[in-house]
Amino acid sequence: MPVAASSDHWAAFAQATSVGEFCQAWAAIMAEQVGRTRRALVLLRDAEGAYTPAAYWPGRDTDLTDLAEPARRCLTARQALIEPLDPPAGLVAAAPGLLLAYPLDVRGDLRGVVVLDVATRAEPQVQTALRALHWGMGWLDAMLRGDEASRQAQAAQRSRQVTDALLRVSEAATLREAGQLAVDLLAERLGLARAALGLVLPRHDDRIALQSLSATAWFDGRSAQVRRIENAMEEAWDQRATVVVPPRADRPAMIDVAHRDLLAAGGQPHAVVSVVVTARGQALGVLLAERHLDRPLDADELAWIEAWALTLGPVLALHRDGERWLAGRLRRHLDAGWAALRDPRRPSWRMGAALVVLAIGALVFVDGDWRISAPAAIEGSVQRALVVPFEGFLQSAPVKAGQRVKAGEVLAALDDRDLLLERDRFGSERDRHERRYRDALSRHERAEARMAAAEMAEAQAQLSLVDERLSRARISAPFDGIVVSGDWSQQLGSPLEKGKLLFEVAPLDAFRVLLKVDESDIRGVQPGQRGQLVLAGLTGETLGFTVRNVSTAAPADGRNAFEVEAVLDATSPRLRPGMEGVGKIDAGERRLLWIWTHRFTDWLRLTWWEWRP
């Protein structure tokens, strides 16, 4: 039967402040509860996933190496193990023992194993021992659950504190202000003698420059003390790990020569820790903290400093990127691109880089067709203007712009009633003078006959003039074509001045193309060059043309442009004068890079010439 454990073991069990003390007292109690226990071993899983000894019984000098293999098998099987065990060498009892191994499973998570070496006993006593062990495992389970809850509560509290401090740092306007707030808040939170922040120099990845000192608005960057702090930071930076001096048993040993030099120069016993600050997976700087040895940094405070450094990195990186000039940002992007090219896990970057190199090579060494684009419009090759032949009033205008007309078709008519009256008057005068002339001849009055003949000729001339004006009162189409401009249907009866434009008529079987070529491209245009034209109303059809003439320059849309005249290779019944589109003139072959950049380089040369002293 289990026996009562000693009061000392229960006192140690109740007053344990760490997992190790708890397990050690628990192992002693279990040894007494199970009875006739020769050795006991408790293995717990550490942060790295390895199972390490948490308690030895009866003492640390006890040889427990032969219990390692049964413990491993129990962990693998995840169930209790009972098997005979030969007595260890040097044990007074010569009888073989019995091995009891029990896994510690916390909510499906295998956290450890307990192995007991007990004296051989009967089966009922073995079951009693297993029940006692099973009862005792509940204490370990409760301890681990409580320890996990405590660590989670500490982590949550640490996260809240770090978040509150981070919000204050995020309100800083500059990188220097953010760094100063970071070290001041750290020193205030942990009661540090000194906190410092160093950042990597932009062009020297192996150099750290001190950025901020707690409770210090200004410091001499060339002083020996500042250099010692920077050396200690660079020591942690080179190892990319946290360096703690004096060393702690729960942390790996690191090179700490520069840290000890910093402590030695202080004159008073201090503890110092340096934590690497990271952002976007890259080290940004180092956070250093110092405190007097009368109040050393515990594990929770070290975790707080590391959490502060971890969350501080992105904020400092944002401030640093915001204060960088264009060259600094460009260098960061180039470094990121170069790192991606060297990463074997990202072959797409290499393929993309190869394609870019090929494209640049094609631009530099491959020739292409240089085609000069310009806005274009269709006009009739002959565009006849029909104007008012004499002053009068508009009688009719049956056509308007856009209508097709035949040769001789009346486009407009002037009011001819006054002309008809004048025609009748001059006809009557001519007849009267003719009768006078004949009467004078019959009476042989030569002088009177000559006068009558002269007046008769004058009247005939006036009559011919009126007949000619009557013939011009009807304005007709000179040829088959289309009315390009003119619409007088709403102005019938209005007075017209001589020479006023009424209509413009263009033929439908002969067109020309007018292109407005920018003066930066006119050097490539010569008569006889070929080109293609696409009109807005006929986007599915490409019309060929030949340049015939290059005219003078004239402003167009705020720019100086030359008017280039071209002749279409073939006409289409769907073409209309006034249609607009885009024409492209074939100007020969040039390098592709020159074709795409010549306008910019020309502008750059001109601007440089304008501003050059």
Structure tokens at 173: 């306007």
Residue with tokens 């033929």: 507
CA 455 to chain centroid, in Å, comes to: 97
In order, the DSSP letters of 324-381 are --HHHHHHHHHHHHHHHHH-TT-HHHHHHHHHHHHHHHHHHH-EEEEEEEEEEEEEES
pLDDT of the residue at 308: 84
Q: Which residues are CB-neighbours of 424 under 8 A, at least 6 positions away?
A: none
Question: What CATH architecture applies to the domain 172-328?
Answer: 2-Layer Sandwich (3.30)
Of 296, 198, 194, 286, residue with least CA distance to 247: 296
| Mean local confidence (pLDDT), 402-407 | 81
Task: For residue 4, name the pLDDT band (cuts at 50, 70, 90).
Answer: very low
Q: What is the mean pLDDT of the chain?
A: 83
Kindly report which listed range (91-95, 410-414, 427-431, 523-527) carries the lowest average pLDDT score. 91-95
Q: Which CATH superfamily is domain 510-611 in?
A: Efflux pump adaptor protein, beta barrel domain (2.40.30.170)
pLDDT of the residue at 1: 37
Task: Give start-end residues of each CATH 2.40.30.170 domain in the chain.
Answer: 510-611
Question: In the predicted model, is pLDDT for residue 275 greater than 90?
Answer: yes
pLDDT of the residue at 139: 81
SS (H, E, C) 77-116: HCCCEEEEECCCCCCCCCCCEEEEEEEEEECCEEEEEEEE
Task: For residue 546, name the pLDDT band (cuts at 50, 70, 90).
Answer: very high
pLDDT of the residue at 2: 41
Strand order, beta sheet including 270-279? 204-213, 194-201, 282-292, 270-279, 243-245
| Mean local confidence (pLDDT), 284-311 | 86
φ/ψ bin of 281: left (φ > 0), alpha (ψ from -120 to 50), beta (otherwise): left
**Tens digit of each residue's pLDDT (9 = 90 or more) over 488-527:** 878 888 888 888 888 888 887 778 899 999 888 888 899 9
Q: 3-state class of 263 per DSSP?
A: helix
pLDDT of the residue at 36: 79
Question: In the predicted model, is pLDDT for residue 449 greater than 60?
Answer: yes
pLDDT of the residue at 566: 92
pLDDT of the residue at 417: 81
pLDDT of the residue at 235: 92
Task: For residue 203, name the pLDDT band (cuts at 50, 70, 90).
Answer: low
| Mean local confidence (pLDDT), 119-125 | 76
Instruction: Catalogue the E-assigned strands of 366-439.
Output: 367-380, 384-387, 392-396, 404-405, 410-414
Distance CA 567, CA 25 (A): 108
With vertex at residue 368, the alpha carbon angle to CA 366 and CA 372, rounded to the nearest 5 degrees, is 150
User: Phi and psi at residue 83, in whole multiples of 5°?
Assistant: -160, 155
Task: For residue 274, name the pLDDT band (cuts at 50, 70, 90).
Answer: very high
Distance CA 368, CA 348 (A): 29
pLDDT of the residue at 74: 87
Distance CA 101, CA 75 (A): 9
Task: Give start-end residues of each CATH 3.30.450.40 domain in the chain.
Answer: 7-151, 172-328
b or e along 338-362 (b: 16 or more beta carbons within 10 Å of the residue's beta carbon)?
A: eeeeeeeeeeebeeeeeeeeeeeee
| Mean local confidence (pLDDT), 432-449 | 84
* Better pLDDT: 79 or 161: 79
Task: Provide the β-strand partners of residue 285.
Answer: 199, 277
As a whole-number percent, the residues of the chain with pLDDT over 90 amount to 13
Distance CA 511, CA 383 (A): 10
**Tens digit of each residue's pLDDT (9 = 90 or more) over 462-480:** 888 878 887 787 888 887 7
Q: What would the CATH number be for the domain defined by 7-151?
A: 3.30.450.40
pLDDT of the residue at 476: 82
| 389 touches 600 (CB < 8 A) | no
Question: In the predicted model, is pLDDT for residue 557 greater than 80?
Answer: no
In order, the DSSP letters of 27-63 are HHHHHHHH-SEEEEEEEEE-TTS-EEEEEEES-TTS-
Decide: residue 379, CB within 10 A, 0-12 exposed, 13-18 middle, 19+ buried: middle
pLDDT of the residue at 6: 65
Question: In the predicted model, is pLDDT for residue 92 greater than 70?
Answer: no
**Tens digit of each residue's pLDDT (9 = 90 or more) over 585-599:** 999 888 888 888 888
Q: Return the amino acid letter for 12.
A: A
Residue with tokens 């309100």: 171
pLDDT of the residue at 379: 83
**Tens digit of each residue's pLDDT (9 = 90 or more) over 219-256:** 888 898 999 999 999 999 999 899 998 888 778 889 99
Q: Which residues are CB-neighbours of 502 under 8 A, at least 6 positions away?
A: 386, 387, 388, 397, 411, 412, 475, 486, 488, 496
Question: In the predicted model, is pLDDT for residue 459 greater than 90?
Answer: no
As a whole-number percent, the residues of the chain with pLDDT over 70 amount to 93
For domain 384-503, the question of CATH label 3.40.50.1110 is answered with no
Task: For residue 529, name the pLDDT band (cuts at 50, 70, 90).
Answer: very high
